[in-house]
Amino acid sequence: MQIETQIGPASTWRADALVLAAFEAAAGERPPFVAGLNAALPWLALCPAVDDFSGRAKQVMVAYGPRSWSIPRAILVGLGKFEQWDLDRWREALSAAFKTARELKIERLALAFPLFQGLPATPAAALDEGLAAGSLALYRYREHQTRDRDEAETGRQPTLVLCGEAPLEPADAEALRDLPAEVAGVELARDLVSGPSNQVTPSYLRARAQDLADTYGFRLEVIDREQAEALGMGAFAAVARGSREPACCIILEYAPSARAADPPLVLVGKGITFDSGGISLKPSAKLEAMKMDMAGAAAVLGTFHVIGRLRPDRRIIGIMPCTENMPDGKAYKPGDIIRSLSGQTIEVISTDAEGRMILCDALTYALRFEPAAIIDLATLTGACVVALGERVAGVMGNRDDLVKQVAELGSAVGEKFWPLPLWDFYFEDLKSDAADFKNVGERKAGSIIGGVFLKQFVPDRIPWVHLDIAGPAWTDRELPGIPKGASGFGVRTLWRLIRQSLTDAPLNRS
Ligand code: BES
Ligand code: MN
Ligand code: ZN
């Protein structure tokens, strides 16, 4: 993401096209364009395209001016009715504008500050969300396509030219400062989730973690399967045993020297690079989608990419248990009793509930850092997709204020979280006759039971939040700012959480 600014009279702005957004006008009237932009495009009033533009939601038109003009094109996007405006509409409109710019092979795309000031949101939020959505809408995963079906679709990004007569307010400029790093973090997560499981193996994730460590000076620690066994990570090792692909638990640490002894924020991400279900084999329909079962780990790596670029003043640790879940002569089996790193024993009912098996040992491992808080992200349950759909993640934990904070920060960046309860009585369903508890209950309350299972591994004194991202990690339809496929969900929320924790309760580092 490349951003340039041009400050000066509108007549001096230069670009290949300028984005103009407008709310829907009453019948017979022209939509009111944001004031202050006419000076940049004096030809626009003469252009008949404007007469055909109503400003209704999803409308996109291109208006052309004289070829020699400093800005010869306007991309007009409709925002729909003013009363119905929300950030998702806005993201959708900017996504549409950016995609049109790509079709036109626009190299320099202008966005003028007045555009972000006439909206029912703070200019900082409008700027942040508009540019993030527009830029991320152009994401493409083309690594394995050797026949380029459409040259214009290669994911090339225009240079964004931010134009204003006066500089941005400091608060708005600050919002902008983090944006390219956030976008790059989301793109990294999308690349990893998009990659097929024969490429994106645990070793591949480890190599990417190594790249980040080399680039940004993170400490990297890797626990392989034998070491995990020796350490007592029996639940992680049980899942790993069924795969020929070497498993590993990746630990990344970022610690500014003045903060090296602080209690860290720990981010835990599920890294199942392919989930066949194991011996409790999944049906083959849609099984190819299970390459995305490492989206939690991808979100943590994406967040570390942001951390490396923006260097927040707090200690953060990422833990990513990574393995395939496969059927094999050595695979763990229903009925097996597994001893977790915590010492608690687990009766395996379904080997397809492997996410909680690898996560529980990662959570216990996290405790050795005496965390200020733990946030885990996992494509944990199909039940969460049934309950909330593919745009919304479940959020649960042992601190209501933290759960609420995550949900609020998420909604500001278009990542939707909805709370689920973890009342103690749910644990009844996990009671086992043979071990401390089972790894699954009945079908009822599947996502909550997943959360209740994980809760057994987090002492009450440690604030903890579990994010079930099974729905939004991947989308089968295009969404505002998200092409079909991997979403990179979680990265922006985690970054906002880190940023906010530098100053605000309840995660304040001091
Ligand atoms: N990775 C799946 C969950 C999943 C399903 C993610 C659909 C994304 C889309 C997870 O490991 C799993 O198999 N969960 C089981 C849990 C059950 C055995 C309690 C499920 O959802 O069926
Ligand atoms: Mn599974
Ligand atoms: Zn899984």
Write down which residue in 177, 208, 243 finishes a domain. Answer: 177
pLDDT of res. 32 = 76
Contact of 379 with 450, CB cutoff 8 Å: no
pLDDT at 249 over 80: yes
Write down which residue in 177, 211, 226 finishes a domain. Answer: 177
Is ligand 1 within 6 A of the CB of residue 385?
yes
pLDDT of res. 307 = 98
Distance from C-alpha of 182 to C-alpha of 306, rounded to nearest angstrom: 6
Whether residues 245 and 350 fall in one domain: yes
Ligand 1 centre to CA of 108 (Å) is 44
Contact of 222 with 206, CB cutoff 8 Å: yes
| pLDDT tens per residue, range 71-94 | 999 999 999 999 999 999 999 999
User: Taken in order 364, 365, 370, 373, is the CA torsion positive or negative?
Assistant: negative
CATH code, domain carrying 92: 3.40.220.10
| pLDDT tens per residue, range 45-75 | 899 988 899 999 999 999 999 999 999 999 9
Ligand closest to 276 (CA) is: 2
* Ion ligand 3: residue ranges with CB closer than 5 A: 272, 275, 293, 355
Beta bridge partners of 393: 417
**Domain annotation covers residue 187:** no
Ligand 1 centre to CA of 492 (Å) is 24
Q: Which atom of ligand 1 is nearest to the CA of 292?
A: 8
For 268, the 3-state DSSP assignment is: strand
225-234 own/partner pairs: CB under 8 Å, 24+ apart? 225/323, 228/361, 231/341, 232/339, 232/341, 232/343, 233/340, 233/341, 233/361, 233/364, 233/365, 234/338, 234/339, 234/340, 234/341, 234/361
CATH code, domain carrying 250: 3.40.630.10
Protein residue with its CA nearest to atom 13 in ligand 1 = 352
Q: pLDDT band at 504, cuts 50/70/90?
A: confident
Run of H or E residues at 97 = helix 87-103
Run of H or E residues at 449 = helix 446-455
Ligand 2 centre to CA of 143 (Å) is 27
pLDDT at 506 over 80: no
* Ion ligand 2: residue ranges with CB closer than 5 A: 275, 352, 354
Please count the other Cβ atoms lying within 10 Å of the Cβ belonging to residue 149: 8
| pLDDT tens per residue, range 128-150 | 999 999 999 999 999 999 886 66
Is ligand 1 within 6 A of the CB of residue 446?
yes
Whether residues 16 and 132 fall in one domain: yes
Beta bridge partners of 376: 268, 466
pLDDT of res. 37 = 79
Question: What's the rounded mean pLDDT across residues 271-275?
Answer: 99
| pLDDT tens per residue, range 374-403 | 999 999 999 999 999 999 999 999 999 999
Ligand 1 centre to CA of 380 (Å) is 6
Please count the other Cβ atoms lying within 10 Å of the Cβ belonging to residue 297: 35
Interior angle at CA 135, CA 130 and CA 141, nearest 5 = 145
Backbone φ and ψ of 491, nearest 5°: -60, -50
Question: What's the rounded mean pLDDT across residues 462-466?
Answer: 98
Computed on alpha carbons and rounded to an integer, the radius of gyration of the chain in Å comes to 24
**Domain annotation covers residue 185:** no
Distance from C-alpha of 390 to C-alpha of 468, rounded to nearest angstrom: 11
Write down which residue in 146, 177, 208 finishes a domain. Answer: 177
Question: What's the rounded mean pLDDT across residues 443-459?
Answer: 98
**Domain annotation covers residue 506:** no
pLDDT of res. 510 = 47
Q: pLDDT band at 209, cuts 50/70/90?
A: very high
Distance from C-alpha of 106 to C-alpha of 36, rounded to nearest angstrom: 23
Whether residues 153 and 279 fall in one domain: no
Beta bridge partners of 220: 252
Question: What's the rounded mean pLDDT across residues 461-483?
Answer: 98
Q: Which atom of ligand 1 is nearest to the CA of 440?
A: 19
Whether residues 218 and 354 fall in one domain: yes
Whether residues 348 and 492 fall in one domain: yes
Ligand 2 centre to CA of 272 (Å) is 9
Whether residues 24 and 144 fall in one domain: yes
Q: Which residues are catalytic?
A: 282, 356
Q: Which two tokens stand for residue 110?
A: 């202008």
Whether residues 152 and 203 fall in one domain: no
Question: Count of alpha carbons within 13 Å of 217, Cβ hemisphere only?
Answer: 6
Backbone φ and ψ of 230, nearest 5°: -65, -35
Decide: residue 71, CB within 10 A, 0-12 exposed, 13-18 middle, 19+ buried: buried
Transcribe 314-380 into DSSP letters: S-EEEEEEEEEE---TTS--TT-EEE-TTS-EEE-S-TT-HHHHHHHHHHHHHGGG--SEEEEEE--
Share of the chain above pLDDT 90, in %: 89
Is ligand 1 within 6 A of the CB of residue 354?
yes
Whether residues 384 and 450 fall in one domain: yes
pLDDT at 191 over 70: yes
Beta bridge partners of 465: 375, 397
Q: Which two tokens stand for residue 358?
A: 């690898």
| pLDDT tens per residue, range 147-171 | 866 654 556 799 999 999 999 999 8
**Domain annotation covers residue 223:** yes
**Domain annotation covers residue 316:** yes
**Domain annotation covers residue 135:** yes
pLDDT of res. 155 = 60
Whether residues 230 and 357 fall in one domain: yes
Residue type, position 12, single letter: T
pLDDT at 21 over 60: yes
Q: How many domains does the chain have?
A: 2
Is ligand 1 within 6 A of the CB of residue 245?
no
Question: What's the rounded mean pLDDT across residues 478-494?
Answer: 98
Whether residues 168 and 245 fall in one domain: no
Share of the chain above pLDDT 70, in %: 97
Ligand 2 centre to CA of 94 (Å) is 37
Residue of 49, 63, 53, 50 whose CA lies nearest to 18: 63
Question: Count of alpha carbons within 13 Å of 114, Cβ hemisphere only?
Answer: 18
**Domain annotation covers residue 129:** yes
Please count the other Cβ atoms lying within 10 Å of the Cβ belonging to residue 418: 16
User: Taken in order 276, 277, 279, 284, is the CA torsion positive or negative?
Assistant: negative
Residue type, position 107, single letter: E
Ligand 2 centre to CA of 286 (Å) is 13
Whether residues 54 and 145 fall in one domain: yes
Domain span at residue 172? 3-177
pLDDT of res. 505 = 67
Which residues does 254 contact at the CB level (< 8 Å), separation at least 6?
216, 218, 304, 307, 308, 315, 316, 317
Distance from C-alpha of 137 to C-alpha of 448, rounded to nearest angstrom: 32
Contact of 294 with 245, CB cutoff 8 Å: no
Protein residue with its CA nearest to atom 7 in ligand 1 = 382
Of 270, 281, 352, 388, best ligand 1 pocket probe by most atoms within 8 Å of the beta carbon? 352
Q: Which atom of ligand 1 is nearest to the CA of 450?
A: 19
Which residues does 501 contact at the CB level (< 8 Å), separation at least 6?
265, 314, 507, 508, 509
Q: Which atom of ligand 1 is nearest to the CA of 282?
A: 13
pLDDT of res. 29 = 81
Whether residues 151 and 240 fall in one domain: no
**Domain annotation covers residue 198:** yes
Length of the chain: 510
Run of H or E residues at 339 = strand 337-339
What is the biggest distance separating any 2 CA atoms in the chain, rounded to whole angstroms?
A: 81
| pLDDT tens per residue, range 215-245 | 999 999 999 999 999 999 999 999 999 999 9
Please count the other Cβ atoms lying within 10 Å of the Cβ belonging to residue 171: 10
Ligand closest to 381 (CA) is: 1
Question: What's the rounded mean pLDDT across residues 272-287?
Answer: 98
Q: Which atom of ligand 1 is nearest to the CA of 325?
A: 11
DSSP type of residue 506: S
Protein residue with its CA nearest to atom 8 in ligand 1 = 470
Of 287, 324, 381, 384, best ligand 1 pocket probe by most atoms within 8 Å of the beta carbon? 381
Distance from C-alpha of 15 to C-alpha of 163, rounded to nearest angstrom: 10
DSSP type of residue 301: H
